[in-house]
Chain A
Amino acid sequence: DTAVSQTPKYLVTQMGNDKSIKCEQNLGHDTMYWYKQDSKKFLKIMFSYNNKELIINETVPNRFSPKSPDKAHLNLHINSLELGDSAVYFCASSLNSFVRQGAGYTFGSGTRLTVV
């Protein structure tokens, strides 16, 4: 009954490979996000989707492509992986109308990506 679930939890891959991370939420939220956390714990937003529509696309290399087949799922595909992509990637969700009132986000447990 996990609220926001990400798979896989760990991903080790070689430079140049293509990989995907999946995220699903069962909270009925309408907005989903991808954040990247670096080794110093700094969190940076990458993408935000509201009802399957891309709302935020920060300065992220176009090797990163999010896809939202429905409002409960937001996947992240990464092409031509580089060493600098190594990080923990977090999926999160919120009910947008409540975000405006301050309900906050629910986070997944993260995917630790290591590029070797």
Chain B
Amino acid sequence: GDSVTQMEGPVTLSEEAFLTINCTYTATGYPSLFWYVQYPGEGLQLLLKATKADDKGSNKGFEATYRKETTSFHLEKGSVQVSDSAVYFCALTVGGGFKTIFGAGTRLFVKA
């Protein structure tokens, strides 16, 4: 079945460090891929997305590239801030489906 696997957290970084959160997927068909972010006490917010192979999604300094050959969609940011502390979810939706499958989430702590 379709699934998403992302690296376990928590990830703890100092401010201005480089961030990578790994995400790999298994899917039938051609999924759209997403990263969502959840700040404490809030719902999930769409951070970025990519709908086909080699697409790069980007938003707020975060980037992820849809790699079909490695079935991956790793999240990166060049310089994290304390305000980036949150839980990050990788997710996929298979085209034509009504269901989005989420990874287990990766908690990020950024220290000043």
Contacts and interface: CB of A to CB of B under 8 A. Distances in A.
8 contacts: A41-B87, A45-B100, A55-B98, A56-B98, A99-B32, A102-B34, A105-B46, A106-B46
Q: Which 9 pairs across A and B sit closest by C-beta, in order of nearness?
A: A102-B32, A107-B43, A102-B51, A104-B46, A41-B105, A43-B102, A107-B44, A109-B43, A55-B98
A42 B89 CA distance: 9
Contact of A90 (B33, B44, B104): B44
Contacts of A41: 38, 87, 104-105, 107
Contacts of B102: 42-43
Given A90-B43, A109-B42, A110-B42, A99 B49 contact: no
A41 B108 CA distance: 13
Contacts of B87: 41
Contacts of A86: none
Interface residues of B, number: 28
Interface residues of A, number: 26
Most buried by B among A56, A90, A105, A110: A105
Contact of A105 (B97, B100, B105): B100
B109 to A, nearest CB: 14
Interface string B72-112: 00000000000000010100010111111110110100000
A98 to B, nearest CB: 10
Interface in A83-100: 90, 92, 96, 99-100
A6 to B, nearest CB: 8
A39 to B, nearest CB: 12
Given A42-B105, A102-B34, A48 B46 contact: no
